Structure 1
Amino acid sequence: MNAPRITVLTVPGCPHAPLVRDRITVALAGRAVEVGLVEVRGAAEAARWGMTGSPTVLVDGVDPFAVPGAPTSVSCRLYRDEVGAVDGAPSVEALRRVLAGVKGCCEDTVLDAIGRAGRGRRAPAERGLRAVQQAVLRYFAATGSAPTEADLESVAADAGRTPSDVLAELDAEDFLSLDAEGGVRAAYPFSATETRHKVRLGGGVEVWSLCAIDALGVAAMLDQDTQVTSRDPVDSRRITVAFTDGSARWEPEEAVVFVGRRAGEGPAADVCCEALNFFADRSTAEVWTRRHPEFPGRIISQDEALVIGARTFGPLLADD
């Protein structure tokens, strides 16, 4: 499930909603980009979305036409075109400028690094890869720390291999990541070193997770209740996601997740985990995206973040 790259926020019955949708279609010039329409009902919901009048256009969760200091509102919003005339929607030319870098749905590679470009995070059974990967993950879940090669020796031996050989292959295929000495520094979704995201497991073990999506996937992977604790990277507000009997409760309720990645190739731990963060609300997520243009991406909802986490990590410890 992919969130719309373009979202139009309107109040119910807004007379300018069809106009802005038509102009977006013209500005996209045939590109297959999903455009979502959200009807905002009330001031509280407008504040949550960062809507400063109807209609408001969001591109990857950010209002490119935002006026600094403008309050959130459900009132009618007016725009000025290139010659200063007032209109009820951005002009086609203004939309062309802000949508120039928006790719079609088939071109969206923000999440490729998370899911290994559609190949998934579950290692193949051949050559002991899956058995060792699962042993690493279970060790993290049991102890909160990374295993040593000695801890993996018997599992690797069942495949006629040494732990170092199997770990090196898992590292090369980005199922986990090794440090300079060959030790496990990360095994998605877990980190051997402190990060912004802590996960408390049902039995009381606490373990670090590489990123927000990884943290959200732990409950599905282990099939147990967990509590995720993180901090907003902009204002350090505490964010928690408590999983109980398959349901997730978020605090604050307005929290969102940003997904993005650096340009170039490399393991997920290096190219995207720094950009996969929780934010207490959309406003701080938008501040962060403006401060970090090196991480193109988008703001996603709680529901989409949960789905991505569960789909990515839920299968990792499943029986063969």
Structure 2
Amino acid sequence: MRITILTVPNCPNVPLVRERITTALGGRTAQVELIEVRDEAEAARWGMTGSPTVLLDGTDPFAIAGAPESVSCRLYRDTDGRTDGAPSVQALRQALSGVSAPQAAAGQECCDADVLDLVGRAGRGRRAPAERGLRAVQQAVLRHFAATGHAPQTSVLEAAAAQADRTAAEVLAELDREDFLALDGAGRIRVAYPFSATRTRHRVRLNTGVEVWSMCAIDALGISAMLGQDVVIASSDPVDGRPVTVTCTGGTTVWEPAAAVVFVGRRDGVGPAATLCCDALNFFTSHASAEQWQQEHPEVRGQVVSQARAVEIGEETFGLLLCED
């Protein structure tokens, strides 16, 4: 068997995936090769949908249908729904034995596989790759939102884009194509996950006093971890408009009402998260209210998740976006 690890240069998860492959092999002999992929064209040629991608005899056993080729980070989800930078040893053993990665149990909603992968760009994460100025501009956009509550003008981003010998408009257009943010018809930023440039149901007050709008409930819950700040989220139940407040302080959350939950859903189709799922990820005052909303919206597939799971998803999705490495 030939095992190929496709990776961007200096990917921090390469040692982890190598170690897990060795463990999964359990002493069996296999040819393991490491190939560095440096641009989107190479990624397309190799079929790499994020770093690291593992191929077994040229086939990706963990491929997600519809995931585009990319040189960005790739995340893998285990059977408990947790994300990691490499397939688990169990998943690798199954793949090496010719068994596909585990799917959702019969009768289980497809939401975890579909919606959360869309929230995280089909398992590749919301953090833009460092190449071509993408991460520098993305982070400049997010920091401007956090400092002012508003989207930056393109001129504010020119210095970050110039580090890669590009214009801000060029980098923003690529970030838009890759669904790291979304532009309007005039090329202005209307979405930079987790932030919205326009009013939404979810208002987040930072401990600096700045107020921002978030795209959805999960985005709102990820802002505290992303900024390393205490925040207060003010939202409302879509069924009856009753308020839902989440106070994030020192890594803990207090929910009001105490029975509040989050519904995570998506519509069928192809497109960015802003179109397919952001308005289907909401806070509800109770499980019953979330179920009522789901029954009233049969076009949305999804499920109710607990407070702890919703916070975990938000942290996993947005916690590393402003890291420098």
In the superposition, the TM-score normalised over structure 1's length comes to 0.68
What is the root-mean-square deviation of aligned Cα atoms in Å?
Answer: 2.1
1:247 equivalent in alignment to 2:252: yes
Q: CA deviation at 1:294?
A: 0.8
Residue number among 251, 257, 264 corresponding to 1:259 in the alignment: 264
Other-structure match for 2:150: 145
Q: 1:240 to 1:318 in 2, by over 3 A?
A: same
C-alpha separation in 2, matches of 1:214 and 1:150: 26
Higher Cα radius of gyration = 1
C-alpha separation in 1, matches of 2:204 and 2:79: 26
Q: 1:157 to 1:278 in 2, by over 3 A?
A: same
Other-structure match for 2:213: 208
Q: CA deviation at 1:110?
A: 2.3
Asked if 2 retains the 8 angstrom alpha-carbon contact of 1:3 and 1:304, the reply is no
Q: Deviations over 1:174-210 (max 9, x none)?
A: 0000011100000000000000000000100000000
Other-structure match for 2:133: 128
SS at match of 1:138: helix
Asked if 2 retains the 8 angstrom alpha-carbon contact of 1:3 and 1:300, the reply is no
1:185 equivalent in alignment to 2:190: yes
Gaps of 5+ in 1: 6-30, 36-98
C-alpha separation in 1, matches of 2:251 and 2:104: 32
1:108 equivalent in alignment to 2:113: yes
- Map 1:1-320; keep pairs closer than 5 Å: 33=104, 99=107, 102=108, 108-320=113-325
C-alpha separation in 2, matches of 1:169 and 1:202: 32
Q: 1:112 to 1:103 in 2, by over 3 A?
A: same
SS at match of 1:145: coil
C-alpha separation in 2, matches of 1:108 and 1:224: 30
Q: CA deviation at 1:32?
A: 5.9
C-alpha separation in 2, matches of 1:104 and 1:241: 27
Q: CA deviation at 1:252?
A: 0.4
Asked if 2 retains the 8 angstrom alpha-carbon contact of 1:262 and 1:271, the reply is yes
Q: CA deviation at 1:319?
A: 1.4
> How many residues get paired?
229
Q: CA deviation at 1:129?
A: 0.3
In the superposition, the TM-score normalised over structure 2's length comes to 0.67
Q: CA deviation at 1:4?
A: 8.9
- What one-letter code is carried by the residue in structure 2 that aligns with 1:301? S
C-alpha separation in 1, matches of 2:80 and 2:122: 20
Gaps of 5+ in 2: 1-76, 82-101
Q: Which has the higher contact order (CA 8 A, sep 6+)?
A: 1
Asked if 2 retains the 8 angstrom alpha-carbon contact of 1:256 and 1:299, the reply is yes
Asked if 2 retains the 8 angstrom alpha-carbon contact of 1:32 and 1:104, the reply is no
Q: Deviations over 1:136-178 (max 9, x none)?
A: 0000000000001011111111111101000000000000000
SS at match of 1:112: helix
